[in-house]
Amino acid sequence: MSEEKYIKDLRDIKDIMNRSSRFISLSGLSGVSAGIFALIGAYLAYQNVYTNQDYLEYRKAIITTDSLISLLLIAIITLVVSIGAGIYFTTKETKKRKQKLWDHQTKRLVVNLSIPLVTGGILCLMLLLKGYIGIVAPLTLIFYGLALVNASKYTLTEIRSLGIVEIILGLIATHFIGYGLLFWSIGFGVLHIAYGVVMEIKYKS
């Protein structure tokens, strides 16, 4: 019994140290919801860009000023809804773990996540306004991956793996410029859902 108690004490100490250095209350449902919203946004964007075209013929992207504004609105709404869902599920997780949602570790996580995201967002917006539409989707994947890798040391280690996969996917998408929306759907949609499911199964206890 003494040996079992000793092992349990070590686990408790390790858990306390982990909580003090990392934000571990991320919910897998946040990833799943973000992935679903991303797929919906990608579908709406696809309908906006390829509207009124024959599916049996070669299709080209039609970007007008109105469609560009619509794409930006779709992107903003998708982002806001995804963040809102993430905050909701993460708040529930922190309450369940009896932890604080906003503390020193959360601040470090947000800062390290935001720097690459804001930089990439500004760059993509500038390129979009200049007419370099094809490169925007790959760059969003790359900068998002960099943001995840940069913030991974302050949260779950699986975030780093997801970030690396996003970067690789973004680099591949750079080679296949015409399929940016497809790669975007995979990166922000399918990968988020897969990550969320894995997190729910692994950390459900």
Looking at residue 157, its pLDDT comes to: 78
Looking at residue 1, its pLDDT comes to: 47
Place of tokens 């793996």: 161
Name the band, by pLDDT with cuts 50, 70 and 90, for residue 53: low
Residue scoring higher pLDDT (58 or 146) = 146
Mean pLDDT of the 1-19 span: 52
Place of tokens 């390829």: 50
Nearest to 39, CA basis, from 175, 164, 196, 178: 196
> CA 199, 81, 150, 116: dihedral to nearest 10 degrees?
160
Looking at residue 57, its pLDDT comes to: 46
pLDDT in tens, 120-149: 989 988 888 887 888 888 999 999 999 989
Judged by DSSP in three states, 26 sits in coil
Q: What is the pTM of this model?
A: 0.76
CA-atom Rg of the chain in angstroms: 20
Integer Cα distance of 193 and 28 in angstroms: 9
Integer Cα distance of 86 and 165 in angstroms: 21
Looking at residue 179, its pLDDT comes to: 84
